[in-house]
Amino acid sequence: MDNWGLSAWLDSLSGVADSTRAVYERDAAAAARWLEQAGCPGPESVDRRALRSYLAELGNNRYAARTITRKVSVLRRYFGWARRTGRMEVDPTLGLAAPRGPSKLPQVLKDDHIHTLISKPARAGDDDARDARDLAIVELLYGSGLRVSELCGLRHDDLDLGRAAVRVWGKGSKQRLVPLSDPAVAALGAWLRDHRGSFVTSDTPTAAVFLNQRGRAMTPRDVRRVIDRRSVVPTHPHALRHTFATHLLDGGADLRAVQELLGHADIASTQIYTHVSRERLREVHRSSHPRA
């Protein structure tokens, strides 16, 4: 397969983990073998129709949509390199669409699960300072719908507990003002006033609202550990944001208002929660009505 230049392409990949490189090599080699059998001896003879036939063959062989999407990503990277290095004039992956897999509705936590995270943590209670911090984290994720990255990036100046509001820096450095619930204000006040100081170290001063036990700004991984420690079942922190949005819509909130609170640039990203809300109503009907 020297005519495909796969070795040179792989050598050009910088900052790629060995495991990822192995996947790229396997996917690209498999595509090259299939394309050769289909009458394309090298990259210069491949067009979009040939690639679509290859993707159709993968679908016929029952490859998962996620796997096909990954293979399309590898093809884009390879053919982009082939065009840049003069092996072909036109990149055949331009406009090539990967198949869409079945969409999964966001996970929404049940009321008793939320109650456990807030009031009856599964493996907490042995460290008052840590528990105060963790409660404030849960109240912010559920009560204000912050992304985990947004929560980790909060600084003191972003909080206005007197007005029950927090300034959030979202994706693309877009700023929005989000209300704080009364429980979140109380939990944040207790953490900042009574406990945060015990986490601060002289060698790592930081203005971050939430600190880990090394005195550094918390990371998304730290937050995941917080949720794991307080939950009785594995729970991703983002599920609290999903639950926040769904509960707002269940309560009659306007979709545009929820979009602003979540910081979505496109309302289509928010509309998924209307489907979740409808599905919850269907489930209530199925489980409660005698003729459902």
Domain layout of the chain by residue ranges: 2-84, 111-288
Q: Catalytic residue numbers?
A: 147, 171, 238, 241, 264, 273
Residue 139's nearest CA partner among 106, 114, 173 is: 114
Sheet strands side by side (includes 165-169): 159-160, 165-169, 175-179
Read off the pLDDT of residues 89-107 as tens digits, 9 standing for 90 and up: 999 999 887 766 555 667 8
How high is the pLDDT of residue 101?
A: 57
End-to-end alpha carbon distance in the chain: 60
Give the best-scoring range by mean pLDDT among 25-34, 63-72, 168-177. 25-34
pTM over 0.85: no
Task: Specify the CATH class of 111-288 in words.
Answer: mainly alpha
Percent of residues, the chain, with pLDDT higher than 70? 89
Q: Which of 63, 193, 89, 185 is nearest to 135 (CA)?
A: 185
pLDDT of residue 81: 95
Taking the mean position of all CA atoms in its chain, how far away is CA 109?
17
Span 206-264, pLDDT tens digits: 899 999 999 999 999 999 999 998 988 889 999 999 999 999 998 889 999 999 999 99
Per-residue pLDDT, averaged over 186-209, amounts to 90
Alpha-carbon gap, residue 41 to 262, rounded angstroms: 50
Query: In this predicted structure, what is the pLDDT of residue 102?
Result: 56
